[in-house]
Amino acid sequence: MLALFILVNMQAAAQDRYVDSVKEVLSHTTKPIERFSLLNKIVDYNDAKQGNFQDPSIGIQMHRIAEQLNNDSLLAISTNVVGNYFRGKSDIPTALDYFFKAIPLAEKVKDKRRISSLYFDIAEAYRSLQNFDECYKYAKIGEENLPDKDSPMYDFMTSQFHRTMGNYYLIKKMPDSTLKHVHELEEENARMKKPTYTISCLLQTGEAYSQLGQNDLAEVYFKKAHAISDSLATPVVILIFNYAYLPYAFATDQIEKVKQQSFKLMNTGNKINNNISKLFAAGFLSKAYTKLHKTDSAFFYLSMESSLKDSVFNQTNINKIQSLAFNEQIRKIDEEAKQAAAEEQRKQDIQFTLIAFGIIILITLFLLLSRTVIVNEKLISFFAILGLLIIFEFINLLIHPWLARFTHESPVLMLLALVLIAALLIPMHHRLEHWIREKMIEKNKAIRLAAAKKTIEKLEGKKE
């Protein structure tokens, strides 16, 4: 445990030095895109320490730069950051509004890292509202949109999925499933070494063993997690620890520890103005004082819990959230319909192109095989160029979806790919045109020679 305590503190200290160095560079940077990148690095590195409870001015600066540059990719990132700020303030409807707005921006630029991140954030937002079915649904959508395995962000994104699913199966009282996800999370965090994921692994393991009736083993993991929580003492770590520990401590009749940790959670909630954490703390303080037969204190915190519950779960917020989810479903349906229509149109274009190419081939074969038609070379050149253009268009239609995915729809890369295809087709076209011309010339000579022979034969017949 001591080694783990030292390692976590060393990581936190190194992280602080890194953020300070980035801020120093930022103070001397004027180019918008460079400033955005540096601000995003601060967000990513602070995430492990502060979670969603970051300086709101960072998200505002990022959003202004993204709008200034009119860049969909940057807008998706900044909108995600602003949404997470509101989630940290327990304003879940506003957070979800930003998350859902960011999804089409991320989809437009095919940024799987951002798409999966948004769906995982939405899942966690619904978990805060105790809507676990929606949490599961959006977590699975996030899994479907994970970046490729060779992406440097793959471990970071998959760890979010396994953490969310581990918590989900704890709620569903399926500890064996939780432990499977914890195992995956441990492997990913062995490469990332993030303290928040370290404490999540310990807590989920402790909760799982508690559900399996092995409280002695669970206590070991909770003590390790408690040591990390006390050593870091950041808002996000205090929240993560107590959301898992308080139910266990109350269930095992550790009432003094329930009081102690509930007050710590309440103070943290007041400090960061997070109603969800205050609601959680008030609920356990009410239960603890009821257990201690202190009815006045129990009633006080019960009233506080009721008031906080109204602010978090009031009908207006529920209606707004349902409206946002409904709008997202409609957007997805419209998007799927557009994609289906585009795919159907592409199939029709391919069929028309094949028909046109078939007509060109038939005309060329007719001209080659006909024993009576003399063909002008200009006509051959015209049909050859037309055939080349049709072949090029057919290849373009055929490979366009794959090419768009491979190049991420970069105009420059797609143009280079098409130029390369044209460079391969043109020499083939010249050879084929040259061969057809030779055949046509030979055929034209044969037709003219045959016609000349007939003329001579007729003339000789008249003389006789």
pLDDT band at 32 (very low <50, low <70, confident <90, very high): very high
CA distance 143 to 282: 34
pLDDT of the residue at 266: 96
Q: Which residue has the higher pLDDT, 347 or 39?
A: 39
Q: What average pLDDT score do residues 35-57 get?
A: 76
pLDDT band at 255 (very low <50, low <70, confident <90, very high): very high
Tens of pLDDT, residue by residue over 71-111, are 999 999 999 998 888 888 888 888 899 999 999 999 999 99
Domain ranges of the chain: 2-269, 339-463
Tokens of 419: 């130029």
pLDDT of the residue at 437: 63
**Which residues neighbour 418 within 8 Å (Cβ) at sequence distance 6 or greater?**
396
Largest Cα–Cα distance in the chain?
A: 141
Q: Which residue has the higher pLDDT, 161 or 52?
A: 161
The pLDDT of residue 270 is above 70: yes
Overall pTM surpassing 0.95 (yes/no): no
Tokens of 421: 């295809």
Name the one residue in this structure whose structure tokens are 């970069």. Answer: 410
Phi, psi of 27, rounded to the nearest 5 degrees: -65, -20
pLDDT of the residue at 197: 92
pLDDT of the residue at 4: 46
pLDDT of the residue at 140: 97
Name the one residue in this structure whose structure tokens are 């404490």. Answer: 199
The pLDDT of residue 286 is above 80: yes
8 Å CB contact between 380 and 440 = yes
CA distances from 229 to 184, 307, 376, 446 (A): 22, 29, 87, 95
pLDDT of the residue at 54: 65
Q: How much of the chain, in percent, has pLDDT values that exceed 70?
A: 67
pLDDT band at 116 (very low <50, low <70, confident <90, very high): very high
CA distance 105 to 126: 22
Tens of pLDDT, residue by residue over 384-438, are 666 666 666 666 666 666 676 676 666 777 777 767 777 776 776 666 666 666 6
Tens of pLDDT, residue by residue over 325-371, are 756 765 675 567 667 777 777 676 667 666 666 655 655 554 555 55
CA distance 13 to 3: 15
Tokens of 66: 């993204």
pLDDT of the residue at 442: 67
pLDDT of the residue at 7: 47
CA distance 164 to 124: 7
Choose among 234, 249, 244, 288: nearest CA to 45: 234
The pLDDT of residue 10 is above 50: no
Q: What average pLDDT score do residues 261-277 get?
A: 93
Helix (H, G, I), strand (E, B) or coil at 238: helix
pLDDT of the residue at 333: 59
> Mean of the per-residue pLDDT values for the chain?
82
DSSP-derived secondary structure for 288-301: HHHHTT-HHHHHHH
The pLDDT of residue 223 is above 90: yes
pLDDT band at 150 (very low <50, low <70, confident <90, very high): very high
8 Å CB contact between 167 and 127 = yes
Choose among 133, 102, 126: nearest CA to 115: 102
pLDDT of the residue at 119: 96
Q: Taking CA 69 as the corner, what is the angle to CA 118 and CA 400, rounded to the nearest 5 degrees? A: 65
Q: What average pLDDT score do residues 255-270 get?
A: 96
Q: What average pLDDT score do residues 450-461 get?
A: 68
8 Å CB contact between 103 and 136 = no
Provide the residue count of the chain: 464
Q: What average pLDDT score do residues 212-234 get?
A: 94
Tens of pLDDT, residue by residue over 154-209, are 999 999 999 999 999 999 999 999 999 999 999 999 998 888 899 999 999 999 99
Residue range 2-269 in CATH 1.25.40.10: yes
CA distance 79 to 102: 6
Angle between helices 275-291 and 255-272 (to 10 degrees): 160
pLDDT of the residue at 22: 87
The pLDDT of residue 272 is above 60: yes
